[in-house]
Chain A
Amino acid sequence: MTETTQIITREGFVEDRFAGTNIPTLEEYTGGGAVLLPVDANPSALAPHLSTLALVVIPFASSADGRGFSHAAALRTLGFKGHVRARGHVLVDQFRAALRAGFDDVEISAAQAARNPEAQWLAVPHDTCYQTRLFAA
């Protein structure tokens, strides 16, 4: 997080536990630490590094572009246990889906955080979900 962004978890607005972490792009990435995974990349490119990788940041250039949700889900499918963050234009109303798809938190601009204060994010209901019921074996 920088001064111009805000991290939000299910608990509300929080400090960035990865503050100061260097987050290279996928091309520059060599292993360990953190990486920025663009939505037009293939998440399986990270497969060899999943055990050492701590943070994957997936950018949302627009709230209408839902590829990030599938990327987060794909990382979890690959067995990634680390932290997955949605960065960019994520709506309050996408928060439930983001957490369910596999994200741990979202990082939005300070301007958006001013328009969508913490109370709106805390008010998001997380309890109702068809898929969990259907996939309960």
Chain B
Amino acid sequence: MYIYTDFDRNFLRARVAEFRDQVERRIDGSLTEDEFKPLRLMNGLYLQLHAYMLRVAIPYGSLRSAQMRKLAEIADRWDKGYGHFTTRQNIQFNWPKLSDVPDMLDALADVNMHAIQTSGNCIRNVTADHFAGATPDEVEDPRITAELIRQWSTDHPEFAYLPRKFKLAVTGTEEDRAVIRFHDIGIRVREQDGEVGYQIVIGGGLGRTPMIGKVVREFLPRADLFAYLEAILKVYNLSGRRDNKYKARIKILVHETGLEELKSRIETEFATQKRLLPDLNPEVVANVRASFVTPAFKDTDFDPNKAQSPALRAFLDTNARDHARADHASVTVSIKPIGGTPGDATSDQMRALADIAEAYGYDELRISHEQNVILPHVHRADLPAVYDALRAAGLATANVGLISDIIACPGMDYCALATARSIPIAQQIGEAFSDLDAQHDIGPLKIKISGCINACGHHHVGHIGILGLDRAGVENYQITLGGDGTEEAAVGTRTGPGFAYDEIVPAVERLIEAYLDQRLSPEETFLAAYRRLGLAPFKDALYGDAHAKAA
């Protein structure tokens, strides 16, 4: 993991002091609310439905135990004893007082954490594959590149007041778990003729206008990384629309300008930047790389055929995956207990996770964009002990990747923008399919729920997407099918009219019945069946005979 230097630490303390001063100036009136807004946003502070919300950055989702414990302490001391892990691998505290926020930021700085650039129209926290450094199939740990980008984008003088927020994600594998096709800039580390470089994708995004990102460079040499990013951001800063915030993301610029024209503008600017900026210094890269050394893995002897309890086996089947080392595994801890709020963790659970990571996980934790927590490196001999400890903490739900592993935005329960509730829908779906054996039979399925068209719940890339809207004061839920955030990127297709609050869960149940009826075999996933069958049988299931007759 990246090890903070004195420079990083001093930078953080200076920024906290600056924000403390800004809060004081807001309170004494020398900053107006309009002027304060971009400043608090740049420090991760939102005004929500009920209170301020502080969003803390977890760069590329990587955490140490001490950092997780500090998050628990903050939750207890300044919030209501819990935190909410987000789809940007961050954590949000929903109930801080404005006057407490500088102290919270100081507490975060104690463990090299911060809330810088977690909101506002700037370059946001960079995300990366949550199995980075542990997965068997990667060209290189994508966090090296993500950390370089974090440094480059932090407090960048030119790009703090962009037309709109700007998100980057990095993957080090062909299989894309970082959803790079749906980011403003998506980066895939790749190798060409023995040289490590990048495939660059721009203009992807969800929100009101979902778009799949387009490749703007098949191979960018590593030395040119910053010059190229500078070029894209300069073009976007000057050409992105500022007249309408819903048309201000780079995806709209790509769409309205056309990829070829925009690409040529970027390449022209890149040529200038390449002339002016030095190549990315290999020494800088080497220093960052040295921070991401793999832990000293244990060589404990263990019997891979040792008998396991059915519960442990079921847990490992769903929540564990192969590691780059055969004698290790990565364990995903579901923060989606049946009937719970997706992504919410109590301070006790955070401390339990910190303890488990310290005892069995080389002190490393990850937050996934699917709102789960990952122990990236666990020796297989320790898996039973990890399972027992998770169970004791109420964290052993064996549902990763299954129907109840739902992504949901906070919805109308917390968010000022939401037009419908999301969390209760997730809870009710979880309860409707509470039998884990039945969930295993249904197999891999991603349900994603957004409580408004801004799509924070990523419903466009859900195999089943649910979008909650307001129709004349009544909640109405639209369904999309076939979305996919991986390398096979697809935006879900709307099935037809929406469903009322009390109709949406039965509608999902009908979709699942239709799938189970029509799949070729248990190996054919919901998504595969949808791709083979198309929308028709699912529409029949949703809308019944009326639809069948009309069609």
Contact = CB atoms under 8 A, between A and B. Distances in A.
Nearest to A42: B238
Contact of B35 (A91, A98, A117): A91
Nearest to B122: A66
Interface string A75-114: 0010000000000000101101110110000000000000
B151 A134 contact: yes
Given A93-B18, A130-B11, A70 B155 contact: no
Contacts of B21: 123
B434 interface: no
Interface string B33-48: 0010011000000000
A137 B281 contact: yes
Nearest to A78: B272
B35 A120 contact: no
B161 A69 contact: yes
B121 A137 contact: no
A65 B39 contact: no
A77 B54 CA distance: 38
Contacts of A7: none
B154 A130 contact: yes
A135 B278 contact: yes
A136 B157 contact: no
A104 to B, nearest CB: 14
B137 to A, nearest CB: 29
Nearest to A103: B157
Interface residues of A, number: 35
A120 B30 contact: yes
A63 interface: yes
B152 A130 contact: yes
A46 to B, nearest CB: 15
Interface residues of B, number: 42
A64 B158 contact: no
A128 interface: yes
B158 A128 contact: no
Contacts of B155: 96-97, 128-130
A100 to B, nearest CB: 4
A17 interface: no
Contacts of A77: 272, 276
A69 B161 CA distance: 9
Contacts of A115: 29-32
B160 A66 contact: yes
B152 A134 contact: yes
8 contacts: A65-B242, A71-B238, A91-B39, A125-B17, A130-B155, A131-B156, A134-B284, A136-B281
Interface of A: 63-67, 69-71, 73-74, 77, 91, 93-94, 96-98, 100-101, 115-117, 120, 123, 125, 127-131, 133-137
Given A66-B121, A123-B21, A130-B155, 15 more contacts: A66-B158, A66-B160, A69-B237, A77-B272, A94-B161, A100-B157, A101-B157, A115-B29, A115-B31, A125-B18, A128-B7, A128-B14, A130-B151, A134-B151, A134-B281
